[in-house]
Structure formats: structure tokens, C-alpha cells
Structure 1
């Protein structure tokens, strides 16, 4: 039997449920005011090119201090130069192999000493090999997981404690649509992106339960992006499976951070992937075959190298 206390708990739950529903509805109809970034310290991994560079250039115009991490020193210096040309007053470029735990912690200490406490962490570094599961050597599979996923574990562990102390900060992780569905010729990449989504969802839950609601989380899941990762990929059905330019994705990421958006899925129509377990697997495979994604992946990664 329900006692009075149980009834009160149910009523309290229903009240919050209704409140959060209408809060989300109002936010959808009337987006909240975008926050500013003056005084924020933004660290971007994988900043030497592609989406990482474009994110840096977007933030350069918003009065934020930029910290750039990459193993490509030449490309990273170019990003630093371009950011300064675009208005950034303080830009710091560091060589950092984010897949190396010791190096991440060492460089994190250096950033805290030379720049200050990171308030917005954008984990963007990543690789994709484009091989079928049975063709991926063990060491390459491990490398993909270290670069794409474990790097984000190390950076979050390095910078989250200070955010928790002040109950202020923002964790941003570039995952992928592949993390929601799987990607032909990319079992290692898919595994790493699925792990990112799962970790960030859980971390957000833990922060919420710990009362650290001043720390926001944004999980980015774009479709194919025209960058060095997917070299030569050309969509066979651009209307349903578009290929985005890095600048466009970067602008959407910055906007999502401003609006404190939890998921950023590009294109938005692919939100339906959240219901994939309700779709019979044969029908899902038929849809993917009609999109001819395997053909595009074979053309991008299955070409014989010219000697």
C-alpha cells in the first residue's frame, strides 16, 4: 500500500517532470540567451587542422583565451597565427600527444601554471584507419582507442577536478554518428566514439547527482566531415547523408556550447537513430545499403596506393 510519504514523492516527481518538459519546450521555441566567452580559457585538442582549427578561429572572435594541443607542431602554430589574426589576444600552442596519459598530465600542469584553469575543454583529437575489422592489427585497434577515447579520459581527469571545485565549466566531446549506429570499415573508430558517448552521458549524470550542475556537457555527433580523417569520401546520397565542411561543424559546436546544448547531432534528422533498437536489423541494413555508404568508404579507404 502507498503511504502518505510515497504519494508525496510521486507528486514531487510528476511536478518536476512537467516542469522540465515545459522548460525544454520553451527553450526549443524561445532559445535562451547565448552566454559570452570573455575570460574563459578554452582548451582544444586536435587543433592543428580540420574542425579543431575552425573551433579555435570561432572562439578567437569571442574574447576567449585559447590553449591549443596537437602533435602537429607546424599545423598548430599556423592555427595559433590564424587565431591571432582573427582577434584572439591570448593563444598558447603546446605539443601534446593526448593518447599518452603521462604527457597529458604533464602538459595540463604546464597549462595551469602558464595560462590558468581551463573552463571549457573541447576534446576533438581523433583518427580513423578505414579498415575492416579482420584487417586491423591489434596495435592499431589499441591506438585508435587511445587517441579517440582514452585521450578524453585523461583530459577530463586532468581538468575536471578544478571545475568541480568551482562548480563551473563545460566538457565538450566530438563523437560521431558512428557512435550511435556503427560505420562500415571503421569498427575501431565506432567503438571509440560509442565509448565517448557512454562516458559523457554517465559523467553528466554523476555531476548532476553530485550537485555540480554548473558544469555543462555537450556531446557532438556529426555525420561525415570533409577533413583529413575521411580522405576522398563522397556521399552517394548527399541529401540524406551529407558531408559537412569543418567550418560549418565548428560554428554549430560553438553555438551548442553557448546554448548549453547536451546533444549536437548533425544532421538533426539523424536523431531518429535513438530509436534504432525498434527497427528490425534487416531493414536498417537495407537502408544503409540504399545510402551506399559502403561504396563511399571503399572508395575513400580501399584504393590501392600509387607507388
Structure 2
């Protein structure tokens, strides 16, 4: 300022208080801030009641399913397992299906099945999602040859199945690169078009091991925790920027019978069953069609994940032992070290 005194130095002492955010010459601002606090609190309480009522209603009344005919769906890890089944399910809705995998023959088979299931067009590309430069290169090729991707499904995943101290450094790095870092690169590649159009859907195939630590899956859990945290943060970032037309779905299933976790056992199959792939694929597509943000399977995972955050540590460990979390990987064999 002209007299050499800063604006901040001229503020009344009360204006430095972090709650009121008042400015010079605005003596009524503290009162307005308090009023705003009460009004916003009432608004939050009323909306919270409504959202819970709405959620209760939808336990009995199905949510409206959106039409995805003509959407361009890209699925990573589409050469086998859940990726292949999701491709078929999405294809049945008249979408354009784009497949990525490191397994060329597997993708060819998936492409054939997707076409038979009703896809308007099917494209497949060899891509190692753990390689950032390759993701960007193949993504550019997709955008040139197919167009903008509007539904992105990050499904590619691997598991070492070794105790942390027994796992080679290279496998630990690969697990993080495929299961979490790949999500960063695919979002960087395809999210700009979604933001420009304020339209799209991001699907992260994570794991219940991304919510709760599991003995014998340290690197896998770390990578899936990262995938969940990343997806949640991106969802909030989009909402904060007014991009509410871009939906997100985070999928956290228990072990799925695809071969990836062969040998794993469940202590209480009625409570934590090994999931059937067809069931999982159908539930994922339904979650996308109804804009469901979180999908945990089986439903007991919702309760177990909640209890983890509120129980005393010793009781949480006791519950983990009861559920068999300490021994679930004891007989792990996997799919002959093959990536899914």
C-alpha cells in the first residue's frame, strides 16, 4: 500500500481468528460466519437423513439402469478370467469393446466371444500396463483408431503369493506397477477426454485385500490399498471440479475362482465363499449400470471392513484368526505364475 503498511497489518485482531475469516471494514462477518455454520450444519443433517432414507428405499426398489449402448469400453487384463467375462457382459449391451492384455491368444479368444455376445465392434491391443510409455503409446493408437474411451476398466492384476521376505524385489515392483501404478497411466491417458465431455465411468477392480491386510499378501495388499485410495481421491477431485458426469466404481471382491488364487482356502465358505467368476462379472456390470460407487463381494465384506475400523486391535486380531485370515494363503499355488 502507499503508506507502506500492509493490508493484513491493518486488520482488527479478531480477524486473524481462523474460524471467522473476516476482513477489514466488515465487522458483521463473524456473525454471518456463525450463522452460515448453523445453516450448513442443518443442511447436512437434513440431507444425511434423506440420503439414508433413499438408500433404504433402494433396498426394495431397484435403481434405474443407464443405457451404455455405443459407449467405448476399454478393459485391461482382458485375455482371461474376469476381464474376459466383463468383456462379454459389456458387449451384450451393444458397446464398442477395446481389449488390452499381454496375452495375444487370450485376447483373440475374448474378442471372438465379445463379438458373439453383441459388441458393435471389438478391438484388441497387446499392452503391458506396467510400462508407462507403452500405456501412453497404445492409448494414442486407441484414440486414433477407435475414438475416446468413455468406460475405463482397470482390471489387470498379478499376485506373487509369497511372504514378504521371500518375495524377490522384481516381483514386488511388478505387483505395484501392474496393480496400482498402471491405473495412474491409464487415467492420465483417457481421463482428459472424459473431463472435456463431463461424461464417462472409471472402474477400478481392486480387492477386499485393498481394505483389510492379509497374512502372506503384503505386496498385493499394498498395491490394492493404493488402487482403492487412488480411485477414491480421483472421484473426489472430479466432484470438486464439477465433473459429476464422470462416475466411479471401486470393486473389492474376496478371492475369485479364476485360477489366480488357486490353492487359497476359506475357513467359513458360507460367510466368505470363493466367488464364482460369472457372478462377479455380472455384479460389476450391474454396479456400473446403476452408478454404484463401492461394490464389495460377498456382502459380509461390508461388515468386516467396518468392524476393522472400530474394534480394539486385539479383538480385530481375534476376529481375523476366527475368519481364517492368518492361514488363507498357506496352500496357495496360483496359476503357474501366469499373469492374469
The normalised TM-score by structure 1 is 0.93
Distance 1:9 1:233, change over 3 A: closer
Structure 2 partner of 1:229: 260
Matched, 1:290 2:322: yes
Distance 1:2 1:220, change over 3 A: same
Task: For 1:1-307, list aligned pairs within 5 A.
Answer: 2-3=31-32, 4-272=35-303, 273-301=305-333
What is the CA distance between 1:113 and its match in structure 2?
0.7
- The 2-side partners of 1:61 and 1:277 are apart by 39
Distance 1:87 1:6, change over 3 A: closer
What is the CA distance between 1:124 and its match in structure 2?
0.4
Determine if contact 2:215/2:327 at 8 Å carries over to the other structure: no
Point out where structure 2 has 5 or more consecutive residues left out of the alignment. 1-29
Point out where structure 1 has 5 or more consecutive residues left out of the alignment. none
- The 2-side partners of 1:160 and 1:12 are apart by 32
Structure 1 partner of 2:5: none
- The 1-side partners of 2:225 and 2:308 are apart by 14
Determine if contact 2:272/2:300 at 8 Å carries over to the other structure: no
2:58 partner SS: helix
Residues 201-250 of structure 1: CA distance to partner in whole angstroms, max 9, x if unpaired?
Answer: 11111111111000001000000101232022232321122101211110
Highest CA radius of gyration, 1 or 2?
Answer: 2
The normalised TM-score by structure 2 is 0.84
Residues 1-31 of structure 1: CA distance to partner in whole angstroms, max 9, x if unpaired?
Answer: 7544444333443343344333333334322
- The 2-side partners of 1:91 and 1:102 are apart by 24
- The 1-side partners of 2:166 and 2:315 are apart by 27
Determine if contact 2:70/2:120 at 8 Å carries over to the other structure: no
- The 1-side partners of 2:102 and 2:295 are apart by 27
2:89 partner SS: helix
Distance 1:14 1:70, change over 3 A: same
Distance 1:18 1:278, change over 3 A: closer
Alpha-carbon RMSD across the aligned residues, in angstroms, is 1.8
What is the CA distance between 1:83 and its match in structure 2?
1.1
